[in-house]
Each structure stands twice: as structure tokens, then as C-alpha cells.
Amino acid sequence: MSKKITIEPVTRVEGHGKVTIFMDDKGEIKQSRLHIVEFRGFERFVQGRPYWEAPVLVQRLCGICPVSHHLAAAKALDVIVGAGTGHGLTATGEKMRRLMHYGQFFQSHVLHFFHLSAPDFLFGIDGDPAIRNIIGIALTNPALAVQGVMMRKFGQEIIRATAGKKIHGTGAIPGGINKSLSIEERDEFLKGADPLNADKMVSWAQEALEFFKNYYFANKDFIDNFAYFPSNHLSLVRKDGALDLYHGVLRAVDADGKKILHDIDYQEYTNYIEEEVKSWSYMKFPYLKEYGKEQGWYRVGPLARLNTVDFIPSPLAQAEFEIYKAMTFGKPNNHCMHMHYARLIETLHAAEMIRELLNDPDILGDDLVTKGTKQKEGVGLIEAPRGTLFHHYRINDNDQIEMANLIVSTTNNNEPMNRSVNHVAKAVMTGKEVITEGMMNAVEVAIRAYDPCLSCATHALGKMPLEITLLDANEQVIDRKVSQ
């Protein structure tokens, strides 16, 4: 009998989504889909608001990485107030924003690794779901859990010092920033009591990376083959090809490493990228115009970034990057689970950059804002933890926003996440009479690798029931399980 398997909601991801898997009479997987079941509408309700409200308003999309939306909107408005794209700000303005962004990157990546992904590595993807969570880690490996919590705290404190609040601050304003660091704040981050100082964060980031590498080498076949498929990859890169999470030009490479988007100015992104709407999801499907819907989809995020960049401009992360790249002989890495590996290299890079910026006297400066000739339209791109984030605004003669378009990171990963779900469903469920919890978690593991922010909103960790419903071809319920 044919079946429709529903995983709802998908757990240990940000936001709410569900998966449906259609199985035919022979037990073959016919179709798998990741549905995004919520609607936000930010692009509509910012219309009519004064443009300088946008960075504060749109960051409410998300409680996990609001800084990314805050900064992407501010970068778009930099263009509108005539402060230019990326490097038009004062040294203090740009470096304070970078510090905020790396603090955000650090805490978000740490949250994903320790709280959301590590339970799968420590307890196995088919381990007991009752302990396969951060509480299970705290009970069985308290030192690791404390490390995760303290690393996240450090990143959040950097955000508080630069944006005014740990969540939903107001630091970035059009053309700059509204505060710099005091000497006391700077010294607290550099020389604070153990473990809350920059040096410790760098060494802990190295330890987290080692933890994953040890797991990887012990489980190489699983990590290498789980949801492997070739794809294009897209991200911002610095003009010289370096990893730059705050600003750069837009580059895409194909699965073999050939450049298919040649370091373009992102103000012109609409010439290169289009979004497709599908009836079964509130999330759109972006693709590169030149290559069409079937061939032009791409991945963003840690895996994509380390595939597009030529090098990482911080020594410890660069050394790890060279080892990482050697595993695929310098070619793009298309292993889905290597996303975790890439994410931890970026975590180390973020820690190094935080330390470097804290040692830069410009972050103590008082020249905060720059402005020039006002423009009607601006685009702001940033590499959010989950990938490239697009903010695009147009204003009217009265300084009100009349058009907004946001392509959030997870939207860019929509097609690859769907492909990952399909890949894993085929691999673990084909021909199986009984669908176990472990099989369904395997599907979630594939989604989790992308660290998706399905709603770009806060979520209640550990409070979401996993509901699985088996239906026949007529959509009649033949089995139903609910677990916590």
C-alpha cells in the first residue's frame, strides 16, 4: 500500500516546518518535500514606514540571528543615505559593525553545533530521542555543555556591547553606528576572567573543531556519504577572494569549481537572481537566471562559502581550511554533512576576527556616521550564519519605504534542503515496511545540517512535539505517533 509520511514539526531547527514523503505500493520514494508552513509578511508591512526604522523593524524576523537582518538592512540604507556600499563608512562605523557581526556569527554557530547538532553526534542519529538533546549532553558531558553555553554567552555579550542589547538592539543606523566601545568594555572582552575572554574563545573554538574532526574520522563513511549530491554554491567573497562575512562581491561556483557568477556588484543582483514560487510552501525558490530553474539553484552557508572563497584571512582558520580543502583535492565540497565541519572552521575564524577587532583602536573612535547624496534605492547583502542574506529597499520622496524585498539565507537553501530530504528518504526508507523514529530523525539530520531558520523566528527548544502520521494513497490515517 502506498504511504504518505509526515514529519511535523521538524525539530531542533529554528522555526517550524514539516516534511512529507510519498511512498508508492512498491515501497519506492516518489516525492519528498520540506514545507514551510508559516507566513511572515515583513516585506509588506515595512511599506510606508520611515526608512531608518528598517534595521530595527526587520530584525524582528528572527530571535537567533537578528544582527544579520539588522546589518543587511543598515547596509542597504547606507546606499540610500549616500554612504556608499560596504566601505563608505568611517573606520569606527565599519569595524563596530563587523565586531557585532562576528559576535553574532560566533554565538549562532555555537548554538547550532552544541545545542542542535551535537546530540546527533554524541548519541547517534537513531539514539534515544529522550536524551538526544542539549539536556542529554548536560547530563552525560557537562563540561561540553558548559563550554557551549559560555561560548554563546561571549558572542551575545559582544552583541550587547555593540548593539545595546543581546537581542534586537539598535547599534547600526543608516550611514554608521550609534556607539563605539569604551576602553572598559574592550578590556573586559580581551582580559576578562576565564573563560569569558577572546583568547579562551579561540582555544575553545579549536577544541570544538577537534571534537568534530575526531567524530568525522571515526565515522568517515557516514559523514561523507550522507546526503551527498553535487550543487552550485554562492556567497559573498572579498574582492581578493578572501572569506569576508560582512562585505564583498557575489560569486558562485558550480559543483566542479567553475565560476558561474563572476564577482558581481550585489547592487545588481536582480540581473542575476530570480525567485520561483511554488504552491506548497511559503518559502520561495531562488536560482541563477542564466542557468534556469533546473540548473541554476545553489547552496549558501558554511559549505558554500568555503567552496567559493580562495582563502580565509585569519591564520588558525586558514590552516584548518587548507586541511579541509585537501580532502576534496581543492575542488568544491558537496558533502552535506561537511557543513558542520565548515561551520566550525568559520566559528574559529569568527573568534580570531573578534580578537583582532578588539585589538584595533578604531573600535574606540568617536567618528560614527557618514552621509552623502541621498539615493532612492539600496541593496544590502551580508553573509549571515546560514548563508547569503539579501535586503533591498526603495523609498519615496517622503522618506517612506515603498518596496522591500528580502531573500533570507534559508530561502536560498530551499531547493538543496528539499533535495537532501529526498536523498535521505530514498536511502533509509525505500522498501521499509516500518518507518522508525531513527529513520525520520535521519531526514531531520539532513535538514539540520543547513541550520535552517525556517521562520527566521525564535523557537521553543525541546518543547515541540514530533508528530508523525502515516497515510495511505487516499490520505487516510493508518498510523500516528507523537513523541516529545
Site for other proteins in 346-405 (CB under 8 A): 369, 398-400
Of 71, 173, 344, 357, the one binding other proteins (CB under 8 A) is 173
At its nearest, how many Å lie between other proteins and the CB of residue 57? 4
Q: Residue 40, interface with other proteins (CB under 8 A)?
A: no
Within residues 398-437, the interface with other proteins by CB under 8 A covers 398-400
Note whether 52 binds other proteins by CB under 8 A: yes
Please, what is the minimum distance in Å from the beta carbon of residue 168 to other proteins? 6
Instruction: Name all contacts of 191-197 with Cβ < 8 Å and 24+ positions apart.
Output: 195/147, 195/150, 195/154, 196/150, 196/153, 196/154, 196/157
CA dist 78 and 83 (Å) reads: 5
Residue among 21, 57, 250, 288 that touches other proteins (CB under 8 A): 57
Of 240, 261, 269, 257, which is closest to residue 76 (Cα–Cα)?
269
Interacting residues of 78 by C-beta distance below 8 A, sequence separation 6+: 84, 85, 86, 88, 89, 174, 175, 378, 380
Minimum separation from the CB atom of position 371 to other proteins (A): 9
50 binds other proteins (CB under 8 A): yes
Among 33, 40, 60, 293, binds other proteins (CB under 8 A): 60
Cα four-point dihedral sign 66, 72, 75, 76: negative
DSSP alpha helices (H): ranges in 359-474? 409-412, 414-429, 437-448
Question: How far apart are the C-alpha atoms of 373 and 364, rounded to whole Å?
Answer: 27
**Residue 61 in the binding site for other proteins (CB under 8 A):** no
Q: How far is CA 294 from CA 231, 290, 428, in A?
A: 11, 11, 25
Distance between CA atoms of residues 275 and 287, nearest Å: 6
From 42-50, 262-270, 302-310, 414-422, give the range in contact with other proteins by CB under 8 A.
Answer: 42-50
Helical (H) or strand (E) element with 391: strand 387-395
Kindly give, in sequence order, each residue whose CB lies less than 8 Å from that of residue 351, ignoring residues fewer than 6 positions away: 106, 198, 201, 202, 204, 205
The helix (H) or strand (E) run that includes residue 343 is: helix 338-358
Residue with cell 568594555: 185
Closer Cβ to other proteins, 166 or 459, answer by number: 166
The residue within the footprint of other proteins, chosen from 23, 29, 56, 145 (CB under 8 A), is 56
Q: Can residue 178 be called a binding residue for other proteins (CB under 8 A)?
A: yes
Helix and strand numbers (H, E) in the chain are 17, 16
| Interface stretch with other proteins, choices 119-127, 164-172, 208-216, 232-240 (CB under 8 A) | 164-172
Q: How far is the CB of 177 from other proteins (least distance, A)?
A: 9
Identified binder of other proteins from the candidate list 10, 21, 81, 404, rule CB under 8 A: 81
Distances in whole angstroms, Cα of residue 84 to Cα of each of 230, 289, 379: 37, 27, 11
164/330 with CB nearer other proteins:
164
CB of 22 to other proteins, least distance (A): 42
Task: Find the binder of other proteins among 43, 53, 188, 402 (CB under 8 A).
Answer: 53
168, 247, 343, 423: which one contacts other proteins (CB under 8 A)?
168
Q: Is 293 in the site for other proteins (CB under 8 A)?
A: no
Cβ closer to other proteins: 180 or 418?
180
Residues that bind other proteins (CB under 8 A): 48-50, 52-53, 55-57, 60, 81, 163-165, 168-171, 173-174, 178-179, 369, 398-400
